[in-house]
């Protein structure tokens, strides 16, 4: 995607500091953006950076209908101080299909705070990228560990749209390559085209029923599996490998985890939990997408996930990520039957204009069918 160079916003000044300017990114900013993503880790017990190598803009092209990235920089030096992106994806909202924005990759350089005037300009400039046919809100997610950011955004910053919490989202990280017993009487195999069209029909039916659904990028799947019993289709899933354009890199461990990492790695053959890598090591993560099962066939879905985790190692993947809204009925099965680490985020509807009360209630109470590859 090519972006025309925007007219820079008027500089924002704070006492004794360089003036700041707010503008939209252009392809020439690629190296500075990727450097900031490498430098700023997400808070949590495991400090991770979400990186987009080797080409930031090309990676967003693969994940969205269109996108804009906002930069805050020194007006004189041009030093990149902060950034944030808005990706527009196709979404289902209570049966209707239309574009929805997703806010992500909000980063600030270490030791910097955004002055109120620059914050207002940033939100105004980001809001100006919206088009009329889009939903009245954007979606975003913040890790539950990042309490300071959640408090700040829930309270409201100057010029900021209102953040409405709509539910929590959980990601399970499963170790790959581990042999687990397969269920008796269930055939697990790679999907043929007939199988897969039926699985996609199940997925589409759920998305049409959901209060909010996001399908994620339509990239080629490295693996498609189905479960059958006496010829009847029970469940299906696929695995997406996004590491060629989006990477998770470990940048540090916090607290007891830093001390216990060697011991936990030694015990992982017994516990089934993923290996904790060295600092600076990238994680090759596959993502489970298009997961669907027939009514009452949650055990078949669990068996498929185990089979997918075992086979994913053959594609060079270290982890398999399975995501779901906290209130998804399959979530309880995942938490109680699959070994692995869990990570939780809070989902927000970011309201650029007021959300009608019934629509907000539907987002808070209804089905949120969000692929992890879309977040």
> What distance in Å separates the CA atoms of residue 335 and residue 343, rounded to the nearest whole number?
11
Average pLDDT over residues 223-245: 97
Give the strand pairing for 20-24 and 247-253: unpaired
Question: Is CATH 3.40.630.30 correct for 172-374?
Answer: yes
SS3 289: strand
Strand pairing report for 80-93 and 66-74: antiparallel
User: Interior CA angle at 37 toward 34 and 40, to 5°?
Assistant: 150
Interatomic CA distance for residues 372 and 305, integer angstroms: 15
What tens digit of pLDDT does each residue of 122-147 get?
A: 999 999 999 999 999 999 999 888 88
For residue 14, pLDDT beyond 60: no
Mean pLDDT of 209-223: 95
Q: Mean pLDDT for the chain?
A: 90
Architecture in CATH for domain 20-168: 3-Layer(aba) Sandwich (3.40)
Which helix or strand (DSSP H or E) is residue 335 part of? Answer: helix 329-337
Burial of 198 (0-12, 13-18, 19+ CB in 10 A): middle
Tell me the average pLDDT across 95-121. Answer: 92
For the chain, give every domain's residue range. 20-168, 172-374
Interstrand relation of 187-190 and 223-229 (parallel, antiparallel or unpaired): antiparallel
Task: Please give the pLDDT value at position 269.
Answer: 67
Residue 214 exposed, middle or buried by CB count within 10 Å (0-12, 13-18, 19+) = buried
Pairing of strands 368-370, 212-214: parallel
Report which secondary-structure segment, H or E, holds 370. Answer: strand 368-370
**What value does the mean pLDDT take over residues 358-368?**
96
Question: By mean pLDDT, which of 91-100, 108-117, 212-221 is the weakest?
Answer: 108-117
Is it true that 20-168 and 172-374 share their CATH fold? yes
State how far the Cα of 363 lies from the Cα of 368, in Å rounded to an integer: 7
pLDDT of residue 200: 97
């Amino acid at each position: 995607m090519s972006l025309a160079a925007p007219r820079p916003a008027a500089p924002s000044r704070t006492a004794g500091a360089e003036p700041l300017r707010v503008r939209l990114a252009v392809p020439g900013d690629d190296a500075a953006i990727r450097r900031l993503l490498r430098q700023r880790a997400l808070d949590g017990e495991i400090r991770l950076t979400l990186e987009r190598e080797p080409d930031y803009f090309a990676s967003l092209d693969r994940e969205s209908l269109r996108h804009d990235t906002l930069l805050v920089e020194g007006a004189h030096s041009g030093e990149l101080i902060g950034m944030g992106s808005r990706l527009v994806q196709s979404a289902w909202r209570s049966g209707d299909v239309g574009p929805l924005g997703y806010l992500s990759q909000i980063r600030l350089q270490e030791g910097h705070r955004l002055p109120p005037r620059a914050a207002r300009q940033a939100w105004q400039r980001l809001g100006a990228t919206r088009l009329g046919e889009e939903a009245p809100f954007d979606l975003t997610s913040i890790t539950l560990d990042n309490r300071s950011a959640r408090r700040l955004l829930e309270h409201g910053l100057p010029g900021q749209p209102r953040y409405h919490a709509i539910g929590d989202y959980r990601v399970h990280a499963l170790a790959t390559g581990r042999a687990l017993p397969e269920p008796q009487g269930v055939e697990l195999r790679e999907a043929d085209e007939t199988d897969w069209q039926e699985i996609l029909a199940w997925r589409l039916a759920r998305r049409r029923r959901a209060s909010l659904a996001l399908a994620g990028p339509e990239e080629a799947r490295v693996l498609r599996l189905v479960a059958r019993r006496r010829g009847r289709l029970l469940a299906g899933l696929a695995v997406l490998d996004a590491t060629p354009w989006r990477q998770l890199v470990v940048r540090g461990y916090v607290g007891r985890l830093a001390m216990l990492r060697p011991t936990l790695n030694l015990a992982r053959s017994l516990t089934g939990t993923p290996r904790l890598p060295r600092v600076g090591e990238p994680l090759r993560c596959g993502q489970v997408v298009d997961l669907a099962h027939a009514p009452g066939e949650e055990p078949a879905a669990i068996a498929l996930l185990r089979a997918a985790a075992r086979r994913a190692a053959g594609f060079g993947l270290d982890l398999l990520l399975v995501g779901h809204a906290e209130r998804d009925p399959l979530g309880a099965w995942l938490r109680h039957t699959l070994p692995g680490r869990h990570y939780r985020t809070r989902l927000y509807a970011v309201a650029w204009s007021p959300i009608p009360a019934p629509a907000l209630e539907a987002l808070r109470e209804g089905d949120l069918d969000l692929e992890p590859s879309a977040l």
